[in-house]
């Protein structure tokens, strides 16, 4: 298992091309599985379930991608975790639902180290935060999940909001869920060090998924 940490912003097309090649190589036993942490410049991506009406204002480039889900925003201040695993090697019976649940658990354990309680919601993929402890009403999403699986090898993954410009989410209906907000470490008033977040993501990935 290879742990990769990118410096600077990675163009979305470059990341897409890297994942395509790595997934093929993993499938052909020519490369190790990989966890890649990175940030993208500001852009929107459209998953396979994206609805045209959910793109409200194309203020950034829009990339159509083969991952599941709908529209999401990526940009500076958001930590992306692209996960390339061979589920046939890791699970006795490959199970996509279990894989999604494990991604959620990975995020929940990571943000808990900063005192943030991440929660699942029935019918809504991603990790949510109850805003009442922060003196606000309602709930908001702090991390999104969008995956693709080809011949049981995974790619795409998660996005965790550290300090992105939250107004940039207003150009879309995030994940097709109107009426729900988006939050971040900074929005919640939680201080963080990016290196420490990366270390926590690495450690908790190993705890949830096994040897890295």
CA distance 34 to 166: 29
Cβ(56)–Cβ(36) under 8 Å?
no
- What token pair was written down for 6? 């990118």
Neighbours of 120 (CB within 10 A): 15
Instruction: Say which of 175, 182, 188, 197 is annotated catalytic.
Output: 175
Tracing tokens 């009442």 back to the chain, one arrives at 132
Residues in a beta bridge with 81: 37, 158
Q: Give the per-residue SS3 of 25-53.
A: HHHCCCCCCEEEEEECCCEEEECCCCCHH
Ranges of beta strands (E only) in the chain are 2-9, 34-39, 43-46, 62-64, 71-74, 78-84, 119-121, 124-130, 139-150, 153-161, 181-182
Is residue 101 annotated as part of the catalytic site, yes or no?
Answer: no
CA 29 centroid distance within chain: 26
CA distance 19 to 23: 6
| Residues with active-site annotation | 175
């Amino acid at each position: 298992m290879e742990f990769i940490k990118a410096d600077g912003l990675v163009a979305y097309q470059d990341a897409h091309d890297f994942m395509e090649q790595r997934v093929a190589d993993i499938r052909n036993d020519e490369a190790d599985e990989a966890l890649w942490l990175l940030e993208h410049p500001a852009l929107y991506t459209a998953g396979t379930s994206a609805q045209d009406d959910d793109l409200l204002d194309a203020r950034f480039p829009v990339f159509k991608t083969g991952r599941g889900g709908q529209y999401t925003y990526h940009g500076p201040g958001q930590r992306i975790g692209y996960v390339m695993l061979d589920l046939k090697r890791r699970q006795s019976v490959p199970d996509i639902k279990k894989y999604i649940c494990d991604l959620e658990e990975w995020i929940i354990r990571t943000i808990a180290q900063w005192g943030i309680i991440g929660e699942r919601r029935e019918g809504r993929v991603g990790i949510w935060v109850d805003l009442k402890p922060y003196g606000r009403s309602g709930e908001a999403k702090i991390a999104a999940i969008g995956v693709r699986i080809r011949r049981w090898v995974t790619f795409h993954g998660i996005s965790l909001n550290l300090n992105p410009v939250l107004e940039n989410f207003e150009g879309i209906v995030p994940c097709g869920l109107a009426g729900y907000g988006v939050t971040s470490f900074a929005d919640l008033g939680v201080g963080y060090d990016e290196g420490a977040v990366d270390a926590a993501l690495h450690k908790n990935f190993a705890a949830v998924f096994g040897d890295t």
